[in-house]
Structure 1
């Protein structure tokens, strides 16, 4: 007997300037995942699209690791496993490809084993696997998410999130350079401590950012997206970053930031998306970096079963 489920998971942009490890947005770029369980034995993994030549086809595959975590937790007995991945989210670019893989595996396995875990329990598992909740929260719940990990009632860490949608449409223009950057490498350049002045700077910017997004007052984004905790240190890893930001703003963007850990750079706008994208790509080109771009909007749903 063959049981199959198909899941669609959005890409995500995290940090959003000052909201380091806390703010995330689900984007309208997707990975699709088909998980099948049969009475046979063995593991078969097929990958098409982004990362087809790089993603493991073995038990090291993160989708399978996530699915297996659910099966183990609920005591689901499985035989043969077939996973088919069709990826549009660029790998190691700051658009949440690992979070999408984790969330896709969890949601698919939960569905095929009878939906025994709640979304909150899936969120806890995803946060544990990813190491932080800022990407997995929007991938799972959709919209704009604010997330944190805090001590629970018995002292164990517990992931929390708050989700909302802005009251007006907002576009995200993502410039995608042709090189990758691992989250680990991007974190290694960050300082262990920051000044009180820089911490206060980010607290103020994050407060204005969330207020502007909640109320749809996007004119505040140009300064609300400023950051002193991670972007100044990661700038050396993304050639031409200040010029790409300036090009976006000069062509109508409301503000710009590094997407996640980079190297994608993201601009926010309500019009002139093509002009902004072309200008960002041209600015990368002046630094001998080939790039393309996507014009995205906010995905409201998060991971969902599509069959």
Structure 2
């Protein structure tokens, strides 16, 4: 049996739409072992009621992609999922499931596939690399598509950067978050985001987190998605006023994440109040960047 720990992720970080993702120290665990026959799936924690326990399970399907690529005929497998990442909240729960399933399946075969090969498989499964790349590699990851090939680069996050996540108590699918976006953008808005993305990466590289107040600004997706997340814009304003270095919608939402090096309790409290003003209940998670990514923490050869 192998056990894999895989982190939550926050994608986009404002301007880096479909390009940037950051791993966070909130984890799901995938336990996997071969059996004589059949499929057994046990689920603990998030998604206990709704996640399939048959061949439609995303972790099992991801594992199958690895076994198929390695020409391995799996006769039977037992999977135990311990889920701490909230589902459909913009914290990469599907990416964690895909990554965890693939890393565990690869470990059971004595690691025939490299991390790069796993990343290509995971991106093909997920459809975009901005969550699966940091889930696999950890840190802040920039990913682009060159044809069908994913090219990624990881920047370890140094210093005392903190992340405050406000998680509204409603779900929002990535599909719905994408459908609301326009098909075309102005040159002015494209230039705006390119410049902010470059500044954001420089801020992480040089640990100049005060630059995030400018580097996390966005015109390509958050203004359009704000209608799906009542209270988002007010939460942004309140977080900045409370001292946040930067604030963004996490993925397609509805979670909002604030970044800073101090006063995170106050910052989270202000964002929580913004949602409360809209009659929306939410939870607070105070997190840190994760630089390790998916790890086999038990078993494997």
Aligning the two structures, in what range does the TM-score lie when normalised by the shorter sequence? over 0.9
Structure 1 gap segments, 5+ residues each = 152-156
- Cα deviations across residues 73-110 of structure 1 (Å, max 9, x unaligned)? 11223222111000110000000000000000000000
SS for the counterpart of 2:113 is: coil
Partner residue, 2:292: 301
Equivalents in 2 of 1:167, 1:278: separation in Å? Answer: 25
Alignment coverage as a number of residue pairs: 298
Q: How far apart are residue 283 of structure 1 and its match? A: 1.2
Equivalents in 2 of 1:23, 1:9: separation in Å? Answer: 18
1:15 partnered with 2:12: yes
Contact 2:157–2:291 (8 Å) recurs in 1: no
Partner residue, 2:26: 29
Partner residue, 2:263: 272
1:50 partnered with 2:46: yes
Contact 2:27–2:84 (8 Å) recurs in 1: yes
Contact 2:13–2:248 (8 Å) recurs in 1: yes
1:115 partnered with 2:115: no
Structure 2 gap segments, 5+ residues each = none
Match of 2:130 among 101, 112, 134: 134
Equivalents in 1 of 2:150, 2:119: separation in Å? Answer: 7
SS for the counterpart of 2:81 is: strand
SS for the counterpart of 1:193 is: coil
Contact 2:157–2:289 (8 Å) recurs in 1: no
1:240 partnered with 2:231: yes
Match of 1:226 among 217, 220, 244: 217
Contact 1:166–1:215 (8 Å) recurs in 2: no
Q: Structure 1 residue runs of 4+, over 4 Å off?
A: none
After superposing the two structures, state which structure 1 stretch, 189-198 or 250-259, moved more: 250-259
Contact 2:162–2:287 (8 Å) recurs in 1: yes
1:59 partnered with 2:50: no
- Cα deviations across residues 33-82 of structure 1 (Å, max 9, x unaligned)? 1011012x111111111111111111111100010111111122322211
SS for the counterpart of 1:306 is: strand
Q: How far apart are residue 217 of structure 1 and its match? A: 0.5
1:124 partnered with 2:120: yes
Partner residue, 1:154: none
Aligned ranges 1:144-293 → 2 under 5 Å: 144-151=140-147, 157-293=148-284
Over aligned residues, Cα RMSD in angstroms? Answer: 0.8
Q: How far apart are residue 192 of structure 1 and its match? A: 0.4
